[in-house]
Structure 1
Amino acid sequence: MNLILDFLDMRHVAAELAMAFAPLVVFFLYMQYRSLHLPTAYVMRMFKGVALSYVGLVLFLQGVTQGFLPAGTEIGRIIGGAEWRWALVPLGFLFGFAATAAEPAVRVLATEMEKASSGAVKQRPVLITLSLGVGVFVALGMAKLLAGFPILWVVVPGYLLVLAMARFSKPDYVAAAFDAGGVATGPMTVTFVMAVVLGAAEALEGRDPVADGFGLIAMVALAPILSIMILGMIYSRRRSDT
């Protein structure tokens, strides 16, 4: 019975992704007919890539829904109800670091930054910096949950700091930093890390899963902005010294 339900759920995911892919494919075919006129071998190779991406996304999203969400919620509920609930803070750092390092969109951003800078900004430092930044802010989100202080105490000073740092950062790094803020809040972070926080909020006495559990993604979106700006300042300082 569970296998049948999983199959029906996968069909639903596949249909939604098909609707998302269809406009892109139709637009490409139109442009290919009107002006591109790319070689047939190239077009066939591209469609193979599209098909593999489609199948991979269907399996990935199905796995996330069936695996990460219930697992994360249960982990958060168990730790939140234990006497050693303080472990949520270091575990939050590990979860945030691992989820960001595994996020496909983060790796794409790091690769594109290396290409756009002609190799001046390497992919690995960008990936490590983003992962560390998100890990620190997820740990801070866990501490916020345990202490019970409002999220505005973190978000408002954080974005004021972002505005102040943008004044002294190069425009290239400012633009990349704000892109990184959106990229880091992908399916890995949202489905697992947020599920852990919501599970812990349900187990902690006096905590509201809505008021205290949600809001973590806003903190996660803030972390990469600060991280990339700091990395940009370091690179700019090194160039000026040389």
Structure 2
Amino acid sequence: MDIIFSPLGLLLATARDVIPVLALLVFFQMVVLRRPIPRPGRILFGFGLVIVGMTCFLAGLDLALFPVGRSMALQLSEAAQSGNVTVADWTAYGWVYLFAFLVGFSTTVAEPSLIAVAHKATEASGGAISSWGLRLAVALGVAIGIALGTFRIITGTPLYLYILVGYVIVALQTITAPRMIIPLAYDSGGVTTSTVTVPLVAALGLGLASNVPGRSPVLDGFGLIAFASLFPIIAVLAYAQIVQFVTNKRRKRALRQQPGTPEVAS
């Protein structure tokens, strides 16, 4: 779909996707609940803004984010192959790994859904969970995951091995992590795959797989989103475990320093 010359077509396509949602809400409100729609004018105006906003967002993705991610992946992989580098020589793609790491970190820190979840987690926990600490832990997990995902694309190793090992680690962490953080950690993997992160990560994977010899965009280009969903869970659980370990150490040290307190085993 060429949105440069057909903005009206994109607007109509977006409306076609959103209007069924509005129809479903109206049906349940009037037929199932049998109540009038509160402030219908305001609701219709809001849905109009949603349609226009989604249209502009999709246009921006196609005009900016997708081309930028794809072109950066192509240029970095071409630079790695300038000296007749083979696919097996994964060490030549250092700039690709660094770019993937930084893209994953920066886009996740700016992810609106993560900001909202981190803010609510701080409110619900009474300040026990740091908003910035959670955002940085999730961003670091995404960055490591995407960098490892680019390594998988370049080397051609099977995707399922990484996912299997990753979820084994998550299962082991879940057993020992503080119970308060476990649901939030699992949700953190989902909020990273949203409006800002997904377009750039998908474009990066497709562009890299298209330019690395022996790689297929269909077979190897996808899968980075799975890394972006899995590794934040590991990072948040690890963050909670580290904080718990440091807190326990400080508590034991404080007890030892109090006069008349029996020795506490470390």
Could you say which TM-score interval applies, normalised by the shorter chain?
A: 0.7 to 0.9
Q: Secondary structure of 2:213's match?
A: coil
Say which of 163, 174, 179 aligns to 1:166.
174
Match of 2:67 in 1: 70
Return the offset for 1:219. 1.1
Equivalence for 1:60: 57
The DSSP-based 3-state class of the residue aligned with 1:61 is helix
Partner amino acid for 1:79? L
2:153 aligned to which of 132, 135, 145 = 145
Question: 86, 91, 95: which is aligned to 2:103?
Answer: 95
SS in 2 for 1:81: helix
Q: Distance in 2 between matches of 1:230 and 1:197?
A: 27
Could you tell me the TM-score, scaled by structure 1's length? 0.83
Shift, 1:6, TM fit: 2.7
Give the partner amino acid of 1:101: V
Rounded to whole Å, the distance in 2 between the matches of 1:47 and 1:232 is 44
Q: Distance in 1 between matches of 2:14 and 2:241?
A: 42
Q: How far apart, CA to CA, are the structure 2 residues paired with 1:30 and 1:56? A: 29
The residue number in structure 1 matching 2:121 is 113
Partner of 2:77: 80
**Contact 2:10/2:55, CA 8 A, preserved across alignment:** no
How much has 1:50 moved relative to structure 2?
6.5
- Kindly indicate whether the alpha-carbon contact (under 8 Å) linking 1:80 and 1:199 is maintained by their aligned counterparts in 2: no
| Residues 239, 49 of structure 1: alpha-carbon distance in 2 compared, 3 angstrom cutoff | farther
Taking the aligned partners of 1:180 and 1:53, their CA distance within structure 2 comes to 25
Structure 1 residues 31 and 238, CA gap change in structure 2 (3 angstroms):
farther
Residue 30 of structure 1: how far off its partner (Å): 8.7
- Which consecutive residues of structure 1, in runs of 5 or more, have no partner in the other structure? none
Corresponding residue number in structure 1 for 2:197: 189
Counting only pairs closer than 5 Å after superposition, residues 1-242 of structure 1 correspond to structure 2 as 3-24=4-25, 55-83=52-80, 85-240=93-248, 241-242=250-251
State the Cα deviation string for residues 89-132 of structure 1 (Å, max 9, x = none). 00000111122122211111111111111111121111111111
Q: What's the CA shift for 1:150? A: 1.8
Gaps of 5+ in 2: 82-92, 252-266
Which deviates more, 145-154 or 124-133? 145-154
Which of the pair has more CA radius of gyration? Answer: 2
CA contact (8 A) 1:80 1:201 kept: no
For residues 183 and 209 of structure 1, the distance between their equivalents in structure 2, rounded to whole angstroms, comes to 25
Tell me, what secondary structure is at the counterpart of 2:15?
helix
Moved more, 207-216 or 90-99: 207-216
Aligned amino acid, residue 64 of structure 1: L
Return closer, same or farther for 1:23/1:213 CA change in 2, 3 Å cut-off: same
Deviations 1:159-203 (A, max 9, x none): 100000000112331111111111111132221112111111111
**Residues 227/83 of structure 1: CA separation in 2 closer, same or farther (3 Å cut):** closer
What is the Cα-based RMSD across aligned positions, in Å? 3.0
**Residue 204 of structure 1: how far off its partner (Å):** 0.9
User: Which structure has more helix as a fraction of its residues?
Assistant: 1
In 1, Cα distance between equivalents of 2:32 and 2:107: 37
Amino acid at match of 1:16: D
Matching residue's letter, 1:7: L
